[in-house]
Amino acid sequence: MSAARPPATARRAAALGPGLVALCGVLAVVAFLSVTLGSRDIGLSEVLRALGNWTDDGSISSTVTLQLRVPRTLLGILVGAALGVAGVILQGVTRNPLADAGIMGINSGAAAFVVFAITVLGLRGVGVYVWFAFAGAIVALILVYAIASFGREGATPVKLALAGAAVTAGLASITSGIVMTNVDALNELRFWQVGSLAGRYAPILTGVAPFLLLGLAASLGLGRALNGLALGEDVARGLGQHIGRTRLAAFAVVAVLAGAATAACGPIVFVGLVVPHLARFICGPDYRWILPYSMLLAPIVLLLADVLGRVAARPDEVQVGVVLGVVCAPAFVAIVRYARLSEV
């Protein structure tokens, strides 16, 4: 008599679980490369000595490794994971395969508040901008959800997408109008908007890390709810799911993740758009697996792009936002061509 066939959930776990372990190993290797490679040529032995002592002895190699590269790498891991997961949630909630932080008002809201800090309050510095950008991203998302909630049907996927586009266009127009008449605001905003891990030191990492970790932990509990939404609102209601509460909880998590990530590093494009499709291509339509896969794939992509930008133009470096735009655009075209983009 043949043994009973294991349930589908167990078979999927057996197939996809080792993939998560392998991605953890890949992420560790990429993080090591991020710490050991850069625009400044520092020998591997010097980097390892600095990491072993974990004390800044005043040497160039120790300072660069511990004060610049390590915080930059850790921030890249957290920000990459946050952007990837936020993209998954936005695409699942809106049922829009092109949803990301850019079209839901997050980037525009963050930029508008940064301009407000510069022009009205006269503030300067990335350490100051991070909190205004965080507040602006959250306010923009709240505004998008509030506008989409008007009407009898509430915040439907179509209304969320339209509200996001409207808020993005409105805030971007206001921001552009201000910076075109203010040279200081234009220069400062241009520095922040490029999307970069460079110059983001330990204080910024420690400032946003609690928000990112909290958001990432909360996101793992949304997999079942996103699976219900993917089946359609009527089916989700039939399964006992409260659509309004689910969307509100999802947007709250996105506000924390994408808001903190955008605030810390500027509007980094393509990670939240491409990585969810890559994860879906690997593990199928189950959001309980798409979320953790995106949480690992996104920082791998972000750190690899950052390392490439640092070593490609020595002794200068190309910002990670530019590298991602060049590398991920054809990758996204390939995903559209070979994957079934409509199935979100």
DSSP string, 112-160: HHHHHHHHTS---SHHHHHHHHHHHHHHHHHHHHHHHH-STT-S-HHHH
Question: Looking at the domain assignment, is residue 250 inside a domain?
Answer: yes
pLDDT tens track for 118-160? 888 887 776 777 788 888 888 988 898 888 888 777 777 788 8
- Residue 344 pLDDT > 90, yes or no? no
Structural domain count, the chain: 1
pTM of the model: 0.86
Question: Looking at the domain assignment, is residue 14 inside a domain?
Answer: no
Extract long-range pairs of 303-307: CB within 8 Å, 24+ residues apart. Answer: 303/27, 303/30, 303/31, 303/33, 303/34, 303/73, 303/76, 303/77, 303/80, 304/30, 306/34, 306/72, 306/76, 306/197, 307/30, 307/33, 307/34, 307/37
Question: Looking at the domain assignment, is residue 188 inside a domain?
Answer: yes
- Residue 3 pLDDT > 60, yes or no? no
As a whole number, mean pLDDT of residues 105-112 equals 85
pLDDT tens track for 299-316? 999 999 999 988 887 777
Sign of CA dihedral 234, 96, 215, 132: negative
As a whole number, mean pLDDT of residues 3-18 equals 65
Compute φ and ψ for 341, nearest 5 degrees.
Answer: -65, -30
Question: Looking at the domain assignment, is residue 164 inside a domain?
Answer: yes
Q: Token pair of 243, please?
A: 């659509």
Question: Looking at the domain assignment, is residue 204 inside a domain?
Answer: yes
As a whole number, mean pLDDT of residues 14-41 equals 87
Residue 202: what pLDDT? 82
pLDDT tens track for 79-103? 999 999 999 999 888 887 878 887 7
pLDDT band at 338 (very low <50, low <70, confident <90, very high): low
Domain of 27, CATH number, reads 1.10.3470.10
As a whole number, mean pLDDT of residues 39-61 equals 75
Percentage with pLDDT > 90 across the chain: 19
Q: 189: domain range?
A: 21-338
